[in-house]
Every structure is written in C-alpha cells, then in structure tokens.
Amino acid sequence: MPITTEIVDERISVVTMDYSPVNALPVEGWYDIARAMQAAAEDGISRVVVLRAEGRGFNAGVDIKEMQHHAGFDHLVGANRGCYAAFKAVYECPLPVIAAVQGFCLGGGVGLVGNCDTIIASEDAYFGVPEIDRGALGAATHLSRLVPQHLMRTMYYTSRTATAAQLHAFGSVVEVVPRDQLDQASLALAGEIAAKDTRVVRAAKEALNGIDPVDVNRSYRFEQGFTFELNLLGVADQHRDEFVRSGNNLSV
C-alpha cells in the first residue's frame, strides 16, 4: 500500500507515503492521506501522528503525468479536491501532526507540511512551490506559514526553494538532523508529546487552530479558483504538457 500506517510505542501513528519514484501522489493518494489522519484520530490509541515518506524526497506534489494521461477535467478536479481534503485533514486532525521531511518537499508537499503542527527535516531537505512553472496556483497559503511574507512572494514568483537550514532560522522547522537520524528525531519529539495528557493536548490543538490569523482551508480554496481559471484558458494544460514532454522526474 502506498499510504500505510504503523502504530509505534502503542500511542504514535506513523503515516508513510511511498509512491515511487518521487512521491508525486495520484488523486487517490491524497484522499488516502485524509483517511489515514481520520483513522489515527479515531483509533482510540494514538496521541500524535508522524507524517513521513520513503524514498529520496518527502513529496513532489500531484502526479501531473496521471492528470495529463486523461482527457477532460475529471483528474484536475480530483487532484484539487484530493489536495484540499488531505491538507484539511492534516490541519483539522485533533492530534498534533509532526512532519518528518527529507529531500525535496514541493507543491502539495508544502501544503501538507505547512498544515502540520511541527516540522523536523533532514539536512538535505528543501522546500518550494513551483506551481507557476506548471501554469497553476496553490499552496501559497501554506508556504506563508513557513517563511516571511516577502520571501514567500519571491519564492512563489520565481519557483525558488528554501533549505531546511533557512526554515530552521525562521523557526518553522524545529530541528535539522542528518538524514539517517530523521525518523529517530521525529519519534523522539512524538514521544515527548505523547507523554502529555492527551485530553489537554487535543484541547490545545483545537484552541491553537481557533486563534490562527488565517483560515487555511478557505484561503487555499480561494487560490484554487485561479487554477481553474488558468485551466479554462488553456494556460495550465500547456504548461503541464511541456512538463510531461520534458521528462522531468519531479511534479508539483
């Protein structure tokens, strides 16, 4: 199964993405993440969730090749709705969600980690939103939770990336570790949280979401509207076709 859940230490749900070669998720993969978050919240055991990935990178966004393989707009709508469901489920999960990020975290990957409560990253991790290069918009909502506003705009317009070390300096990544220590570090933090009274932690999660200055669900949905406009104009389809022809191994 490309999205799997393992219970560690009887109280930590570890949700793993494993879509070779680059963890570019198909439509169903995004919904699977949403279902995994809901299952962890309702299993009666878990007190915290770790979201991680196998392979050389954490997440390369949506599977553009899947989208371009099908005529019409069904898979475009599916990807948009799937991303929305996954991001929302991470944010609204009543348990704290820790992202353990290695290698690339792009596009939809930023949507996931931007809605997590805590991020731990490997030394080789980097983050970016190359949507403009694909004729799309989205995840600025989540990138703005990781970097300051003016840097977010520059990264968005240029498709530049930021390293884990840079995000650590901004305070959005709590710890940067060698790749071979990433799982250990994320589980250590998860264990620290899991040791607390889960009733209080769940209340804290709900309270912290309630005082957020931006409604991330509504904000991201607003961004998606412009992606649909670009698709109706044919702009996005042109960029996606160019991406597929280029043989690029990374998606958004």
Amino acid sitting at position 50: V
> Tens digit of pLDDT for each residue in 97-141?
999 999 999 999 999 999 999 999 999 999 999 999 988 899 999
CATH of the domain at 84: 3.90.226.10
| CA–CA gap between residue 210 and residue 225 (Å, rounded) | 25
For the chain, what is the mean pLDDT? Answer: 93
| CA–CA gap between residue 159 and residue 154 (Å, rounded) | 8
Residue at 146 is within a domain: yes
pLDDT of residue 211: 98
Residue at 200 is within a domain: no
Residue at 37 is within a domain: yes
In sequence order, what DSSP letters do the residues of 46-73 get, joined into one string?
-SEEEEEE-SS-SB--B-HHHHHHSSSS
| Average pLDDT, integer, range 42-56 | 97
CA separation, residue 102 to residues 12, 107, 132, 171, 200 (Å): 20, 15, 23, 18, 31
Residue at 211 is within a domain: yes
| H-assigned helices in the chain | 27-42, 64-69, 74-92, 108-114, 140-143, 149-158, 164-170, 182-194, 198-210, 216-232, 235-246
Residue at 232 is within a domain: yes
Q: Which domain holds residue 33?
A: 3-180+205-246
Residue at 86 is within a domain: yes
pLDDT of residue 71: 65
CA separation, residue 93 to residues 86, 90, 221, 247, 250 (Å): 10, 5, 18, 36, 28
Backbone CA torsion sign across 152, 98, 96, 93: positive
Give the confidence band of 69 by pLDDT, cuts at 50, 70, 90.
low
From edge to edge, which strands make up the β-sheet containing 104-106? 104-106, 126-128, 161-163
Q: What percent of the chain has pLDDT over 90?
A: 81
Count: domains in the chain? 1
Give the confidence band of 249 by pLDDT, cuts at 50, 70, 90.
low
**Other beta carbons less than 10 A from residue 94's beta carbon:** 16
Q: Residue 252 pLDDT > 50, yes or no? A: no
Residue at 192 is within a domain: no
Residue at 190 is within a domain: no
| Average pLDDT, integer, range 191-216 | 98
